[in-house]
């Protein structure tokens, strides 16, 4: 559901404009205050039960992916039992479509999804924030042109965009990561631009401008640090969708290729055996579910914390 | 010309411009292949003579811009070209698939919209009670899950492991109209419904809460109107209005959502058609389907925009 950017209140208030940053004058303590805003957001968010649970789920999967291979009983390409064998003492979750150990493949299969998703989201964030910051802080005409061009990219559902490029260049991993990242960029840019438009009217920005500080310096040292809260929430949201996209692409056969161990790929390979050996599908499905729900829960917690901070600083 | 009409026309024009640029992007991405399209298509059976023949047949020896305008001109006239793999006109090939996907999306929309409005408004009404908390968490979970995960969980629940009510694979008979084979539609449609519902529920809830705290609802209650009438006549209709944009956006999303879902259920629509075409590198078909999906996507986003303008008096007068 990557294309719906509705914000934490479901999009009812349009647009959601939190009071960003709480500096209204230039003081030398800028550095300290800058760190405090997103740190404040994270620490506030952690007070919510859902953030705690979400983070716990996410870290569980990260740990599984990172350390899993060291605990795997076999190698992921080793044939240990009959195809679609039921769970037994040989294979705790049974055999997959070729008779490999499901448990082992599951322990090896998380790294690709996690790493690729995080990199893709990071690429999208860097690109999107740069474009949004630029467009938001530039002249209205430039802003218009940039956003119109980005609208063309926004015309494609993310998966269709990725598939278009994969059809041309083949299912390369670097291509998947780049295109997923690129497809996030316009959506992130919108959020970044919205926040930039608000922050650029602040006193400290005006003051810096009147002092003759270069606009790019202002953008990165004055504006950017004060829009980190919504961007953090956006990162969490985009990460959820990246995971969904990349797992789906592997599921469709355009991501990691056999015989790699990857959760999305496993789900597709073992689909035919769903009735006889459901574990070979259910375990990777459950792990992907835990991962995405965890990230989304934590993101929701951050979004609520952001509204809370907005309410507090708005009253100030 | 009234400002409202001017605004709408402007949006329409921008939409068309976007579509034009989209077509350029689609064309550029597929035709400007590194390496030679013709050799890629012929694969192993590529001999210099065959490659030359294919190139001439596809018009690949003409400059790119000329190819683009030929393609575009064809589309405007309704001729989308021939499939490379099936050697048939694409419109013949995809006609049935378009109908099937349309049926799927229609059913999904018809179920998800009323259902989500109901659940969302109930959540808003019973705010912070168990129903609300349960729906809230459920929505969060469903919104997080990728569509194919939702689909597989549904298959396990309703087709294979728990209950055996629906078919796990949609073996649609192409010779019969889709309406006579509705049970093939159910699981894919249900998957789409569950993918889309969380967003509509969420906004209906927020909207309902705001409406219930509004002055005219308080007024209606103070006047002594029965609560049921207050809800039916005042609260609910006004709660739905801000949600219209979100609903339209979700319908737009369905245009892309069908891709993975149709593949999962082997449902013969344009989504699975796209996957097949990508796997076969059937360039004209890929171009046609991507353009179609993008057009639907832009179209629904446009409708969402226009509806927002129509229901928002501030925007209607052209003031920003």
pLDDT digits (tens, 9 = 90+) for B6-29: 888 888 898 888 888 998 888 888
Tell me: do A93 and A150 sit in the same domain.
no
Tell me: do B232 and B170 sit in the same domain.
yes
Does A11 map to a domain?
Answer: no
Q: What are phi and psi of A252, to 5 degrees?
A: -75, -10
CB–CB of B155 and A274 under 8 A? yes
**pTM reported for the whole predicted model:** 0.87
CA distances from A177 to A25, A130, A293, B176 (A): 41, 18, 21, 41
**How far is Cα B144 from Cα A144, in angstroms, rounded to an integer?**
32
Tell me: do B68 and B139 sit in the same domain.
no
The CATH number of whichever domain residue A211 belongs to comes to 1.10.3720.10
CB–CB of A285 and B149 under 8 A? yes
**How far is Cα B294 from Cα A156, in angstroms, rounded to an integer?**
5
The band of A312, judged by pLDDT with boundaries at 50, 70 and 90, is low
Give the closest of A10, A152, A253 to B22, CB-based: A152
Tell me: do A101 and A227 sit in the same domain.
no
CB pairs under 8 A between A and B: 161
Give the closest of A12, A282, A296 to B140, CB-based: A296
pLDDT at site B205:
93
Q: Touching check for B89 and chain A: CB below 8 Å?
A: no
pLDDT digits (tens, 9 = 90+) for A53-71: 999 999 999 999 999 999 9
- Partners of A296 on chain B (C-beta within 8 Å) are 140-141, 143-144
- Partners of B279 on chain A (C-beta within 8 Å) are 253
B278 touches A179 (CB < 8 A): no
Q: Of A255, A277, A293, which one is at a domain's C-terminal end?
A: A255
Does A304 map to a domain?
Answer: yes
Q: Is the previous residue joined to A15 through a cis bond, with omega within 30 degrees of 0? A: yes
Tell me: do B28 and B158 sit in the same domain.
no
For the residues A156-184, what does the mean pLDDT come to? Answer: 91
Tell me: do B123 and B58 sit in the same domain.
no
CA nearest neighbour of A125 among A214, A227, A40: A227
pLDDT at site B144:
95
- pLDDT exceeds cutoff 70 at B270: yes
pLDDT digits (tens, 9 = 90+) for B206-240: 999 988 888 888 888 888 888 888 888 878 888 88
pLDDT at site B119:
94
CA distances from A170 to A39, B6, B116, B251 (A): 41, 45, 39, 30
Q: Of B52, B76, B100, which one is at a domain's C-terminal end?
A: B76
Least confident piece of the model among A152-156, A209-213, B62-66: B62-66
Tell me: do B158 and B64 sit in the same domain.
no
Task: Find the domain containing B159 and state its range.
Answer: 90-318
Does A124 map to a domain?
Answer: yes
Token pair for A184: 């996030």
pLDDT at site B61:
67
- CB burial of residue B294 (10 Å; 0-12, 13-18, 19+): buried
How many other CB atoms are there within 10 angstroms of residue A77's CB atom?
14
Distance of CA A40 to the CA centre of its chain: 21
Q: Of B53, B76, B99, which one is at a domain's C-terminal end?
A: B76
Q: Touching check for A81 and chain B: CB below 8 Å?
A: no
CA-nearest residue of chain B to A295? B144
What is the complex's ipTM, to 2 decimals?
0.86
Task: Find the domain containing A89 and state its range.
Answer: 36-109+260-308
Tell me: do A247 and A269 sit in the same domain.
no
Does B105 map to a domain?
Answer: yes
The band of A296, judged by pLDDT with boundaries at 50, 70 and 90, is very high
Does B82 map to a domain?
Answer: no
- Name the 3-class secondary structure at A252: helix
Domain count, chain A: 2
Does A139 map to a domain?
Answer: yes
Output b/e per residue, A277-293; b: 16+ Cβ within 10 A.
bbbbbbbbbebbbbbbb
pLDDT at site A170:
82
Torsion of CA A79, A84, A86, A89, to 10 degrees: 0
CA nearest neighbour of B34 among A161, A169, A172: A169
Give the closest of B146, B156, B210 to A278, CB-based: B156
Does A248 map to a domain?
Answer: yes
A305 touches A50 (CB < 8 A): no
**How far is Cα A46 from Cα A39, in angstroms, rounded to an integer?**
11
């Amino acid at each position: 559901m990557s294309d719906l950017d509705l914000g934490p209140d479901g999009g009812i208030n349009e647009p959601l404009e939190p009071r960003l940053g709480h500096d209204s004058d230039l003081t030398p303590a800028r550095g300290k205050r800058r760190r405090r805003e997103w740190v404040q957001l994270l620490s506030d968010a952690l007070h919510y039960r859902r953030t705690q649970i979400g983070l716990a789920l996410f870290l569980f999967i990260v740990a599984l992916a990172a350390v899993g291979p060291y605990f795997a009983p076999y190698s992921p390409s080793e044939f240990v039992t009959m195809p679609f064998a039921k769970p037994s003492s040989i294979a705790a979750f049974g055999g997959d479509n070729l008779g490999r150990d499901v448990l082992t493949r599951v322990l090896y299969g998380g790294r690709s999804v996690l790493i690729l998703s995080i990199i893709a989201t990071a690429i999208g964030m860097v690109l999107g924030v740069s474009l949004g910051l630029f467009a938001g802080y530039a002249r209205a005409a430039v802003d218009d042109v940039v956003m119109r061009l980005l609208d063309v990219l926004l015309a494609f559902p993310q998966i269709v965009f990725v598939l278009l490029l994969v059809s041309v260049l083949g299912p390369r991993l670097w291509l998947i990561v780049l295109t997923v990242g690129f497809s996030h960029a316009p959506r992130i840019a919108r959020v970044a631009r919205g926040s930039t438009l608000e922050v650029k009217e602040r006193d400290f920005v005006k003051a810096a401008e009147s002092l003759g500080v270069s606009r790019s310096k202002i953008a990165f040292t004055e504006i950017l640090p004060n829009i980190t809260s919504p961007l953090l929430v956006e990162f969490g949201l985009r990460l959820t969708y990246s995971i969904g996209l990349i797992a789906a692409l592997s599921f469709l056969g355009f991501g990691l290729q056999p015989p790699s161990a990857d959760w999305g790929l496993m789900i597709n390979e073992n689909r035919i055996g769903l009735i006889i050996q459901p574990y070979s599908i259910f375990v990777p499905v459950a792990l992907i579910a835990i991962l995405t729900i965890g990230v989304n829960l934590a993101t929701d917690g951050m979004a609520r914390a952001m509204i809370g901070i907005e309410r507090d600083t708005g009253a100030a | 010309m009234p400002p409202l009409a001017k605004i709408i026309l402007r949006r329409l024009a921008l939409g068309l411009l976007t579509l034009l640029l989209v077509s350029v992007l689609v064309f550029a991405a597929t035709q400007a292949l590194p390496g030679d399209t013709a050799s890629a298509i012929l694969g192993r059976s590529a001999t210099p003579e065959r490659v030359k023949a294919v190139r001439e047949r596809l018009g690949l020896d003409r400059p790119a811009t000329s190819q683009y305008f030929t393609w575009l001109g064809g589309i405007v006239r309704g001729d989308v070209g021939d499939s490379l793999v099936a050697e048939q006109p694409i419109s013949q090939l995809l006609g049935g698939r378009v109908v099937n996907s349309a049926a799927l999306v229609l059913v999904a929309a018809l179920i998800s919209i009323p259902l989500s409005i109901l659940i969302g408004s109930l959540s808003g009404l019973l705010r912070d009670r168990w129903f609300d908390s349960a729906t809230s968490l459920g929505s969060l979970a469903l919104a997080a899950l990728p569509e194919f995960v939702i689909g597989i969980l549904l298959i396990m629940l309703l087709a294979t492991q728990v209950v055996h009510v629906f078919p796990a694979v949609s073996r649609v008979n192409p010779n019969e109209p889709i309406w006579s084979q509705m049970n093939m539609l159910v699981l894919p449609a249900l998957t789409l419904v569950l993918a889309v519902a969380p967003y509509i529920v969420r906004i209906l809830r927020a909207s309902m809460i705001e409406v219930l705290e509004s002055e005219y609802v308080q007024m209606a209650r103070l006047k002594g109107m029965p609560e049921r009438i207050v809800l039916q006549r005042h609260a609910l209709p006004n709660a739905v209005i801000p949600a219209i944009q979100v609903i339209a956006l979700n319908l737009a999303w369905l245009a892309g959502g069908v891709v993975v879902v149709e593949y999962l259920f082997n449902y013969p629509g344009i989504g699975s058609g796209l996957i097949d075409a990508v796997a076969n590198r059937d360039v004209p078909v890929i171009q046609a389907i991507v353009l179609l999906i993008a057009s639907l996507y832009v179209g629904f986003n446009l409708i969402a925009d226009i509806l927002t303008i129509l229901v928002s008096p501030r925007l209607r007068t052209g003031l920003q």
